[in-house]
Chains A and B, each alone.
Chain A
Amino acid sequence: DAGVTQSPTHLIKTRGQHVTLRCSPISGHKSVSWYQQVLGQGPQFIFQYYEKEERGRGNFPDRFSARQFPNYSSELNVNALLLGDSALYLCASSFSPNTEAFFGQGTRLTVV
């Protein structure tokens, strides 16, 4: 069975650019969450979507946005990239908010 898939696996962007990260949840899972993991730290919650609606938002600036599509896949968008946005971005899916979350391998974003 396919797990949570994220694309791309790595990318390099320049300060001020925009980036879109993609996530496909495990088949049958309707909830997708996004996390940012800076090197040497635990993941920090960015967004949760369930049934295509935003259900939670972490303490991130408005440059960060996301959406969930009818097939439950999701995109995370970051505008006006800063050097400090360099991190591993993790997507997690769960059947519902009452069940455990399974993580993808992440997208490593480097901003130069």
Chain B
Amino acid sequence: AQSVTQPDIHITVSEGASLELRCNYSYGATPYLFWYVQSPGQGLQLLLKYFSGDTLVQGIKGFEAEFKRSQSSFNLRKPSVHWSDAAEYFCAVGARGFSGGYNKLIFGAGTRLAVHP
């Protein structure tokens, strides 16, 4: 079955520290992979995506993620966290549908990030 696991429900880091959020997926084919961020009561903002090609992808706000097929992982990283990064982060896999695209996103349960000053 297709699924996404985010092992860490809650993470707290100090401002200026590095960050890594873990994401593991279960999917039978080459996946489309995404990271979204959600502030309280808000919609989801796309941070970055992986469709194919270079396995290290750069996103907005200084985030990057690395696709590792052998580990079925797509971990999100940031070298130096800012207080404004406090939010909930969701990893998602796009389940393939017709014509090579995807017809739905399967989300993990999310990781809530708190940032200490």
List A residues at the B interface (Cβ < 8 Å).
Answer: 4, 33, 35, 41-45, 48, 55-56, 58, 90, 92, 96-106, 108
Contact = CB atoms under 8 A, between A and B. Distances in A.
B117 interface: no
Interface stretch (B14-22, B36-44, B69-77, B78-86): B36-44
Given A56-B97, A97-B98, A98-B99, A105 B42 contact: yes
A90 B100 CA distance: 24
B11 interface: no
Given A33-B105, A97-B102, 11 more contacts: A42-B92, A42-B107, A44-B107, A45-B105, A45-B106, A48-B104, A56-B104, A96-B101, A103-B46, A104-B43, A105-B42
Nearest to B107: A42
Contacts of B46: 100-103
A43 B43 CA distance: 10
Contact of A90 (B34, B43, B104, B109): B43
B contact face: mostly helix, strand, loop, or mixed: strand
Nearest to B104: A45
Interface of B: 4, 34, 36, 41-46, 49, 90, 92, 97-110
A106 B42 contact: yes
B36 A55 contact: no
B110 to A, nearest CB: 5
B1 to A, nearest CB: 12
Contacts of B36: 103
B97 A55 contact: yes
